[in-house]
Each structure stands twice: as structure tokens, then as C-alpha cells.
A and B are shown apart, each in its own frame.
Chain A
Amino acid sequence: MYSEKVMEHFRNPRNMGEIPDADGVGRVGNPVCGDLMTIYIKVKDGRLEDVKFKTFGCGAAIATSSMVTEMAKGKTLEEALRISKMDVAQALGGLPPIKMHCSNLAADGLHAAIADYQKKQQSRK
């Protein structure tokens, strides 16, 4: 049911964990629906210096979280905001149709973390 790429990220998730002094945190999903993820970002000079995740959910939820952290790391905020759900699914060699909308939350999580960072910057000014 899952592509080999999904299974590989499920087996060896990249960037799993928390960033205690994160500059932005995005929490998306709902455990009632079966998926909940938190994305942590560390920003330096307008770039994502570090991205980490914690996820409760199915294999697809874990693999998309892992993939999005890998895709976003080192990118500028603008570039990271352009990473779409579709990009994440494609990078994983596709997802089963039922997982496309329910478990493919990682890009939303990343965007939420960036929004959180930007809001904190705003309030600092």
C-alpha cells in the first residue's frame, strides 16, 4: 500500500524530536482524526537552520513529517512556505488516496511553525 520511499522514512525518520528553544512551533491535526503533528523550527538569517518534528499518526503521517523536515532544512522562509502538500507526497513517491487528505499534514505543520515565528517577530517589534 505504501511506496518504498514512505517505508524508508517510516523506518528511519529524519529530524525526529523537539527543539527546546525553537523560534517557531506549528501544531496541526487532531488526534481524534488519527493524526497530530508538531513541527519545530530554528531560524537564522531568514533561513531554516533546523527543523524537527513529533508525530502521532499512521505510517503516512510519520513519513510526511520526516520528509517535510528534510525538504525545508536550509531553505529561506519564502522557499519553505512554497512547499506544498503535493510536493511532499510527490517526494515520497505518492501516497494512497485515502491518506492524501487525512495524513498529509506535514506541509501545514511547517507553514504553521513559520507563521508562529513571524508572529513572534511582529510582537517583538
Chain B
Amino acid sequence: MPRRIYLDHAATTPVDPEVVQAMLPYFSERFGNASSLHRFGREAHEALEAARRSVAELIGAEEREIVFTSGGTESDNLAIKGLVLAQGKKPGGPHVVTSRVEHPAVLESCRYLESLGFQVEYLPVNREGLVDLAMLEKAISPATVLVTIQHANNEIGTVQPLEEIGEIAREKGVLFHTDAVQSVGKIPVDVKRMNVNMLSLSSHKIHGPKGVGALYVQGNLAPMPLLHGGGHEKNLRSGTENIPGIVGLGKAAELAAQRMEKDRKYLTGLRDRLIRGILEGLPKSWLNGHPTQRLPHNAHFGFAGIEGEALILGLDEKGIAASTGSACSSKKSEPSHILRALGLNDVEARGSLRLTLGRENTEEEVDYAVEAVCEVVCRLREMSPLWEEPIIKRQLT
């Protein structure tokens, strides 16, 4: 069988076998509706609440502050649209502050609010992808009701200083939501210490199943629900709970909490080996995002003279699964809004590659990937009219 190396863990992760085992009984044996009064219902309800505990523990929240959703996108929509719409329209506002490098689930929720007449400010970021805290402070006006800034970027892996952003929001008396889909389970997240009022997370990024996520909603905050119905999840998200999925998320959260420190060290080592190998192997290549304030499993590169999609195809031929940026945008042809926000020009933003590692990757796979990337980039540069220098074939060591 040809080699298959999965280096696209920011897109999604394989479900952990322990998670699958935990989920299985809830499809047919314990299939009850968590709202039912009988034994079947109680079993489901207990499983639901146990999962809620595991998720709450992973992010330092109270159990009652976790709302299960269908995933990161729904969590972002519920937090942003729900919170702002619950405020109602006030003269001169309300106003939302976000950044230019958010996930489309946040950006499009904000654009929808704009279409309803709300004001949104999109903060720029620096070359490393960090939001300028002084600018954030200045952007918050008396009309501001919500700041929504991601914890870690889905393409370039830059980690924002959440504690400091939370502190600014607290001082200014505005609510703070963060999309932590990429960071939860990978690096420590503590909603109390970070002064976060709402936080989105997703199951399938942490070796759980797809189609389930959660929103942390602090204390008595009450965003307007997107789904009206039977009043599930404290009336914030109606609809019979996806018990197998939620049990899977609970187990994934539990495993992530146990493994985080070890995985983080391991992945950081692999990541740095990958970055070193590729940057040393190829001239006119660079790392996008922050050199140190980045997710432990994310390496994002730029290569002069080539186009990213061709690189992904070439790597796929060698058995390596990678992406140019987010999986969501890989079928669109516009350059990434995130790379443009870093100040890269259109051509620089084209030649990008995101490699995101997972706990099952090995050093040997990383070395193979370094060789493969260097080989494919050289091949594409040979073909490229934008590359006028001699191709230096990397010496195998």
C-alpha cells in the first residue's frame, strides 16, 4: 500500500479509538432521549452531564456554563449573533470589535450583523498575526458590547495573548468571546484566568467526532438562541441532544486534559524539526505566523515562485495530506484573507503550505515530509516562469 501521512490536523483529526468505544453504547443500547423520565432517558441524561463535566474541566468552567452545539461554527454564531441580538438596537450602536484574521464563522456572523445595521470594527494584525492591544483598547467605545478575538489562528497558528485581551475587555466593561476551536486541548485554556465570557470549541479538532461542539457561556449571560424549540440546553439550544456525539466530545476532552502536557512537548519537537528542515532545505522560503507564540502542532510556510494548490497536489501524490490554508477555503481561488492581513502580497500569499501535526505522527514521517516538500517545491519552481534562479537540489543527509 502506498504511504499515507496525515499532516492536516487543523482541518480535522482521527477519532481516538477510546472515544469510539465510549460512544458505541449510545447508538443502540443506550439510545434514550435525555429529556425522557424513564430509565432510558436517565441513562442518556447522565451521560450528557458527565460529558459536560469533562468539557467544563478542560477549560476551567462550571458545568452549568457549557452548552452543547453542532460544532465550532454554531458556537461562534450563537455567541456573536445571539449576544448582540439579545442586546437589541440602541442608538449609536451596538458595536462589535473583532480582528481581520478570524475564522469565516466569526467574520460572516459579524458581516450579517452589519447587514442588520450594527457596527463592526475589524482590527488589523502585525506581520506575525498578533492583534495590537493598544489598537484594541482604542477601538472599544461606549457603544461596544462585544469583543470577539480568536485564541489561535486556524491557518498560521498564531496564539493571541488572551489573558491580556480579556483584561482589557474587563476593564472596559465589555463582553469577550473567543473562538478557541484550534487551541482547546492543544494548549492550556482557562476561561476564568483569561477573563473570557464566551468560548467556542469543537470536538473533531481534538480526536472527537464531527458534528458536535460546545459554547462556554459564563454565569447568567443569555445570548438569544438561534434554534427555538423544546428549550434544551438551558433554552440556549433547542433540539434533542446528540448523545453519542456529546459522549465522544466528553471523552475526547478528558483524554486531551490527560495528554496535553506530554503531547504539547512532543508536537513542539516535531514542529520545530519540520520547520528547520524545510527552511534549511529551500531558499526563498519562510515561516508564516509567530515564531514562538504559535500552536505546538502548526507549521505554515511560504515559498517564492510557486502556487500552493499545485504543491498540495504534488504532496498528495507522495502520500502526504496537507493544505494551503484552511480546509474551508481550499476549493476557492482567492488568496487567504489571513495571509493578506499579515501584509503578504497576492503572489506571496499564493505559495503557501500548512502542515499540522498530530499525536500519531512520527519523527520519521516528519523527515519524509521535509524531503517531499523540498522535492515538490523544486519541481514546481523548475516549471515556474516566476523562478529565474538555478534550482538547488537539496543534498540528502
Contact = CB atoms under 8 A, between A and B. Distances in A.
Interface of A: 1-2, 7, 10-11, 13, 16, 27, 31-38, 54-59, 61-62, 98, 102
Contact of A34 (B305, B335, B383, B384): B335
A32 B307 CA distance: 11
A56 B310 CA distance: 9
Nearest to B317: A11
B384 A59 contact: no
Contacts of B5: none
Given A56-B306, A57-B307, A59-B310, A31 B386 contact: yes
A34 B307 contact: yes
B205 interface: no
A55 B350 contact: no
27 contacts: A1-B331, A2-B313, A7-B313, A10-B310, A10-B313, A10-B314, A13-B383, A16-B382, A27-B385, A31-B346, A32-B346, A33-B333, A34-B309, A34-B335, A34-B350, A54-B383, A54-B385, A55-B383, A56-B385, A57-B307, A57-B310, A58-B309, A58-B333, A59-B313, A62-B383, A98-B332, A102-B333
A36 B380 CA distance: 13
A55 to B, nearest CB: 6
B331 A58 contact: no
Contact of B384 (A1, A11, A32, A56): A56
A36 B350 CA distance: 12
Contacts of B305: 56
Contacts of A59: 309-310, 313
A16 B383 contact: yes
Contacts of B386: 31, 36, 56
A55 B385 CA distance: 6
B330 to A, nearest CB: 9
Interface residues on B, range: 20 to 34
Contacts of A37: 385
A34 to B, nearest CB: 5
Nearest to A66: B383
B347 interface: yes
Nearest to A27: B385
Contacts of A36: 385-386
A34 B333 contact: yes
Nearest to B332: A98
Contacts of B309: 34, 58-59
Nearest to A10: B313
B381 to A, nearest CB: 9
Contacts of B306: 56
Contacts of A13: 383
A36 B347 CA distance: 11
Of A1, A31, A33, A37, chain B has the most CB atoms within 10 Å of the CB of A31
A32 B317 CA distance: 26
